[in-house]
Structure 1
Amino acid sequence: MAKVTIVGAGNVGATAAHIIASKNLADVVLVDVAEGLPQGKALDMMHMRSVEKFTVNVTGTNDYEATKDSDVVVITAGIARKPGMTREDLLGVNAGIMSSVIDAALEASPNAVYICVTNPLDVMTYLAYKKSGLPTNRLMGMGGVLDSSRLSFAVCEKLGCMPEDVVAWALGAHGEGMVCWPRFTTVQGTPITELMSEDDVEAVVERTVKGGAEVVAHLKTGSAYYAPGASIAKMVEAILTDSKEVMSVCSYIDGQYGIDDLYMNIPTRLGKNGVEEIVEFDLTDEELAALRASAESVRAGLANLPE
């Protein structure tokens, strides 16, 4: 049986664990610094096992020894921005957390595929890359699957179509610098640019970019976790089943689309080796310029990384 470790037993990590277990994909280890939190959530999920009839085990721990020889390690650990904190403050705190987590996880599972979820995503994934020395195929970030799911939702809301009929592409930076590709976003194979007005396309893109903030505005305390948890599980499933599915993943870009030495959401084929291929779409000059501008916004974030 495959083994997946999820670092961080908060809402995102626990939701991902729940979905991975419910799909019977792998045994799951939840690890967290908070004593009792991962153990309690894992036990609750095991009590659920007889209801949902899954057969994998979910365990909780404060010790990385229990995560030994994982096939996939997902890192959700980090703090959310609190009132009065700048993004640079957040970056400093989460950079410290990411550095200590990647060291401990790597020691226990040197051959695993690593998925970073901690924000600011593109910067944290690059930091993990520099800190860990992992080959780029075994280190990626989750952001593009989530952003694309929000684009798909906005399209469905606007056109009244079903989710299974939509293929949506949201790429670039995970955040305000995100880029959507309406020309490649389709409903039953037809681009949304042919199905709605220019204003409606713009509105759908705007709703996608602000999707996370829209959730936060409703919740008032905390941020999204159901869609992020499901997006993690989708990536884990693609890796463990060697599906070779192409999705938007925060992958290392080394020359593709004219972008160098950067982690950013880009069409990526996932399989048992992690990143199997960066897939290059045939973009217009305007689409390429938007993607490269998004890359520069990520580079600006990297400049704020603590030494």
Structure 2
Amino acid sequence: MAAKITIVGAGNVGATAAHWAVAKELGDVVLIDIVEGMPQGKALDLAEASPIEGFDSQLTGTNDYADTAGSDIVVVTAGIPRKSGMSRDDLLNTNAKIVGDVVSKVAAHSPDAFMIVVSNPLDAMVYVAKEVSGWPKHRVMGMAGVLDSARFRYFIAQELGVSVEDVHGFVLGGHGDTMVPVPQYATVTGIPITQLLTQEQIDRLVQRTRDGGAEIVNFLKQGSAFYAPGASIVQMVEAIVKNKKRILPAAAYLEGEYGIDGLYMGVPILLGAGGVEKVIEVDLTAEEQANLEQSAQAVRELMDVLPSPEELRAAN
């Protein structure tokens, strides 16, 4: 029986994730949005590509959460981007309400699903999802590390003029300006980039990775990245659906790992049919640990603005 994958939010990120998911035949996809007609139109358009591309996954576009019932995986992309004149706190509270409402509805219809949160500010929104759903930490995670790491790997490959397939690496920390690329674990076919690039080159690539999302926004003028985020979501979905036991960077709830407690942060995880099956702890240099703690502090500042867990649950 095919897995049922619900994607909440039929904008560019959600629709692109749906495209990648059905192209890989990971399961049947339900695309849901509050805008009438948009998920239906995008789902039908994508379904009509199936005879050409040769995938048999079923697509449903809907505005009714009843159609999401029995989902195995729920991906939450709902939320608004920051607008001119809007403070960070305004964005945080607005999206917390949106994510809280969405999560309460999908959790009611699919109480046994795994949830991947993509909404921003990511590290705070995945915490909202965990608290509102009441689900255990292994079933609620955030997608950002796969995306940030993919950007880091691409920039390394371009700098060295090598295939992206041979470049591996990951990014730790919160999804934002304080993310922590870890050059000592970035390799090209096992060769550390510290042996292939100068410190000046590495520092430049690290900073470009941190600015990766903003760089695309600046090019587009309106809107933000969606191809790579969509592919990143689907890599996580595939790891769960196929029980691939991938070690991927993702926002996981930490309870003492890396010296951090009670926060969602980007760390390497073992991702399989059990969701977040393990948080992988690696040795960090003193500088990397300090940068990770700085990133954690930035996430704590977001958390301080959020309503309490009790208020979040009561509101939904």
Instruction: Tell me whether the two structures share a fold, i.e. TM-score over 0.5.
Output: yes
Q: Do 1:147 and 1:171's aligned partners in 2 also have CA atoms closer than 8 Å? A: no
Which shows bigger deviation, 124-133 or 15-24? 124-133
- Paired residue for 1:65? 66
SS, match of residue 265 in structure 2: strand
- Paired residue for 1:217? 218
- Paired residue for 1:149? 150
- Paired residue for 1:270? 271
Separation of aligned partners in 1, 2:194 and 2:87: 37
SS, match of residue 74 in structure 2: strand
Separation of aligned partners in 2, 1:152 and 1:284: 21
Residues 174-189 of structure 1: matches in 2 within 5 Å? 174-189=175-190
- Paired residue for 2:138? 137
Which shows bigger deviation, 277-286 or 69-78? 277-286
Residues 226-241 of structure 1: matches in 2 within 5 Å? 226-241=227-242
Amino acid at match of 2:291: A
Amino acid at match of 1:22: A
RMSD: 0.8
Give per-residue Cα distances to partners, 1:274-295, cap 9 Å, x unaligned.
1010001122222222212211
SS, match of residue 224 in structure 2: coil
Amino acid at match of 1:28: V
Count of residue pairs brought into register by the alignment: 307
Give per-residue Cα distances to partners, 1:143-188, cap 9 Å, x unaligned.
0000001101110111111111011211101010100100001111
Residues 48-59 of structure 1: matches in 2 within 5 Å? 48-59=49-60
Separation of aligned partners in 1, 2:67 and 2:130: 23
- Paired residue for 1:114? 115
Amino acid at match of 1:264: M
SS, match of residue 261 in structure 1: strand
Residues 1-307 of structure 1: matches in 2 within 5 Å? 1-307=2-308
Q: Do 1:72 and 1:114's aligned partners in 2 also have CA atoms closer than 8 Å? A: yes
Separation of aligned partners in 2, 1:284 and 1:146: 23
TM-score, normalisation: structure 2? 0.96
Cα shift at 1:131: 1.6
Give per-residue Cα distances to partners, 1:260-279, cap 9 Å, x unaligned.
01101100010001101000
Give per-residue Cα distances to partners, 1:229-285, cap 9 Å, x unaligned.
000000000000001110100001111111101101100010001101000112222
Q: Do 2:178 and 2:291's aligned partners in 1 also have CA atoms closer than 8 Å? A: no
SS, match of residue 28 in structure 1: strand
Separation of aligned partners in 1, 2:178 and 2:71: 33
Separation of aligned partners in 1, 2:196 and 2:241: 36
Separation of aligned partners in 2, 1:130 and 1:222: 29
Give per-residue Cα distances to partners, 1:106-164, cap 9 Å, x unaligned.
00000000000000000001111122111000000000000001101110111111111
Which shows bigger deviation, 5-14 or 281-290? 281-290
SS, match of residue 293 in structure 1: helix
Separation of aligned partners in 1, 2:195 and 2:299: 31
Q: Do 1:6 and 1:29's aligned partners in 2 also have CA atoms closer than 8 Å? A: yes
TM-score, normalisation: structure 1? 0.99
Amino acid at match of 2:157: C
Identity %: 52
Separation of aligned partners in 2, 1:63 and 1:223: 27
Structure 2: give runs of 5+ residues left out of the alignment: 309-316
Cα shift at 1:306: 3.6
Separation of aligned partners in 1, 2:191 and 2:298: 31
SS, match of residue 261 in structure 2: coil
Q: Do 1:150 and 1:211's aligned partners in 2 also have CA atoms closer than 8 Å? A: yes
Give per-residue Cα distances to partners, 1:192-231, cap 9 Å, x unaligned.
1111100000000011000000000000000000000000
Amino acid at match of 2:106: A
Amino acid at match of 1:23: K
Amino acid at match of 1:19: W
Structure 1: give runs of 5+ residues left out of the alignment: none
